[in-house]
Structure 1
Amino acid sequence: MSIQGIFPIDKWNFKSESILTDLPAADFEQLMVHKSEHVLKKGEILFREGAYPSGIYYIVEGKVKKYKTDKTGREQIIYVANTGELLGYHAILSQYRYPDSAATLEESRIAFIPKEDFLLTLQQSSILNNRLLKTLSHEFSVLANSITLLAQKPVRERLALQLIVLREKYKVNFEEGEAVEINISRDDLASLVGTARENVVRVLTEFKEEGMLKTKGRKIFISDVKKLIVLANAG
């Protein structure tokens, strides 16, 4: 089922896939003129926190996690990026190092766009400029909501909300009445929710018993998103 009208997905989901949608052909061609595409296996690094950027990344197909790592090596996933989204442009716009790291969550096809082409297109395209500004503003709002979520909500509500957001990202060729399949490790899910792996496993078991989802290995099948929405309490 569609969650439009019953869940405010825009409060919790970045929109960088809209940056290149229907961009004028001349602008798009200029941006992509020297791009290179690579197929990356699950877990391969696109960029690391603290490195200097040499370009931006476009997800042609697949999913990528953006995350920060603390001094003990523990990851906190900030966001899961989907097909069509851009990554790495924050560091170029700020003229500084990457503020976070990015790695593939599954085998993905990634296009690398050199920094020079990105900046030249940005300089000449008012449409790209306006879209980036709008996207950055929206991302700030999403991050503010996420900080509040981690600080104030219990694990059950945080997990329910993240499962709803992930459901939208994994909803490919969806047909009404089918359960949406989310393929993510329990470690990555725990990192996204901001809790320990054992807490995620325990709460997923509770959700199964309550009829919200089913699991098979690492795969999670969302069978009753309405119940998750009520539990998430994220209106």
Structure 2
Amino acid sequence: MSLAGLFPIDKWNFKSQSILNNLPEDEYGYLCANMLEQKYNKGEVIFREGAVASGIFFIKKGKVKKYQVDQTGREQIIYVANTGELIGYHAILADERYPDSAATLEECVIAFIPKEDFLSAIEKSTVLPRRLLKTLSHEFAVLINSISVVAQRSVKERLAITLIVLREKFKEGTAAGEEIMINVSRNDLANMVGTGDENIARFLTEFKLAGILRTQGRKICITDVKKLIEISGYGTSE
């Protein structure tokens, strides 16, 4: 089921997939001259907050969580990056250390592009700088929207929004006709919503009893996305 006209999914997804699409061959060559591809197991850290930014990462397969850790050691998941997205480039562009951490949510294949190659490609490219500026502008709007939601929406509404967004993330790796299964731990889900595990368990049970979703172990299948959109507080006017 498409969310078009029902839920403003663009307010929740970055658009870094478009950065490398159809770049001129020579410009793509500069970018990938020394690219190294690596397989990651589920739960592996790709880079940590505060580390020196040595390059950017292109997710060729899988999903990655971007997060920060508070003083109590609790994660606050900022974003889930999907296949085709770039991560780590904000730090390179700002000439700063990584502002957050990144770790795999499942088995991934990720390509590392050294800082020098990325900056060289930007200098030589006529397309890349414009795409980066457009993407960064959109990401700023997405983050402002996320901050607003945390401040203004209830935990139940935030969980509904998170499940809708995750459904779209996992839809991309699902074959036509197959059920979309959201495969994240309850702890990660709680860290995305910004609440405790007990609240997640309580509301998931409530949603199950209402026929909105079903679970299979830790996997979640949304069976009535329209009801979930109603709970989220979003309508066609937003």
**TM-score past 0.5 threshold:** yes
Equivalences, count: 234
2:78–2:192 Cα contact (<8 Å) kept: yes
2:176 is matched with 175
- Give, in whole Å, the separation in 2 of the partners of 1:107 and 1:179: 20
Gap regions ≥5 residues in structure 1: none
Residue 81 of structure 1 aligns to which amino acid in structure 2? A
1:111 is matched with 111
2:174–2:180 Cα contact (<8 Å) kept: no
Does 2:210 match 1:197?
Answer: no
Does 2:24 match 1:24?
Answer: yes
- Give, in whole Å, the separation in 1 of the partners of 2:175 and 2:2: 10
1:222 is matched with 222
1:60–1:84 Cα contact (<8 Å) kept: yes
Does 2:140 match 1:140?
Answer: yes
Residue 184 of structure 1 aligns to which amino acid in structure 2? V
1:76 is matched with 76
Gap regions ≥5 residues in structure 2: none
Identity of aligned residues (%): 62
Does 2:160 match 1:160?
Answer: yes
2:187 is matched with 187
What is the TM-score of this pair, normalised by structure 1? 0.97
- Give, in whole Å, the separation in 2 of the partners of 1:158 and 1:182: 16
Counterparts in 2 of 1:39-118, with a 5 A limit?
39-118=39-118
Residue 72 of structure 1 aligns to which amino acid in structure 2? T
- Give, in whole Å, the separation in 1 of the partners of 2:126 and 2:70: 38
The alignment's C-alpha RMSD in Å is 1.0
CA deviation profile, 1:44-70 (whole Å, cap 9, x unmatched): 111100111110000000000000001
- Give, in whole Å, the separation in 1 of the partners of 2:206 and 2:175: 26
Query: Structure 1: which 4+ aligned runs deviate by more than 6 Å?
Result: none
The SS at the match of 2:60 is strand
1:180–1:223 Cα contact (<8 Å) kept: no
- Give, in whole Å, the separation in 2 of the partners of 1:232 and 1:179: 22
> Following TM superposition, by how much is the alpha carbon of 1:174 offset from its aligned partner in structure 2, in angstroms?
4.4
Residue 14 of structure 1 aligns to which amino acid in structure 2? F
- Give, in whole Å, the separation in 1 of the partners of 2:28 and 2:187: 37
Residue 137 of structure 2 aligns to which amino acid in structure 1? S
